[in-house]
Homo-oligomer: A and B are copies of this chain.
């Protein structure tokens, strides 16, 4: 019997809230995410979302004053990573805490595809990720990238190992 099962409902809810907060803090403290200026804004079972505001240093094409594709890639990879971490953690339910931590620490992107559908124009951008399939070792995700007017700018597909 795992330690979690011996907890009261209150203690379990608290642990879950802690775990959520850890994921949020984890994301918001990733050095390159900080450098880009993105923040996690929603962490649900169904979806994870992060935002970034347009800024001069994020521009890629100076002719058109649009986001660099690398900014989009950075946000899509990051939200998909958090979504995968949540799904992987849930999949490891019942395993010892140390084993869970070990697996989380080694989670990484295997590959990612991005379709750049429209120019990255806007004031604020929202990257969303959902898990399409969680296996015992691999997690498949789908991502979207919109601006504040809900224009779909890019989509992504990424696979993670853990």
Q: What is the interface of chain A, defined by CB distance below 8 A to chain B?
A: 29-36, 56-64, 67-71, 73-75, 77-78, 105, 108-119, 132-133, 135, 137-138, 140, 142, 152, 155, 157, 159, 161
Query: This chain: how many copies in the complex?
Result: 4
> In the complex, what residue of chain B is closest to A115 when comparing beta carbons?
B111
> In the complex, what residue of chain B is closest to A64 when comparing beta carbons?
B105
> In the complex, what residue of chain B is closest to A80 when comparing beta carbons?
B69
Complex alpha-carbon distance, A26 and B157, angstroms:
30
What chain B residues lie within 8 Å of A115 (beta carbons)? 110-111, 132, 140, 157, 159
What chain B residues lie within 8 Å of A132 (beta carbons)? 115, 117, 152, 155
What chain B residues lie within 8 Å of A108 (beta carbons)? 61, 116, 119
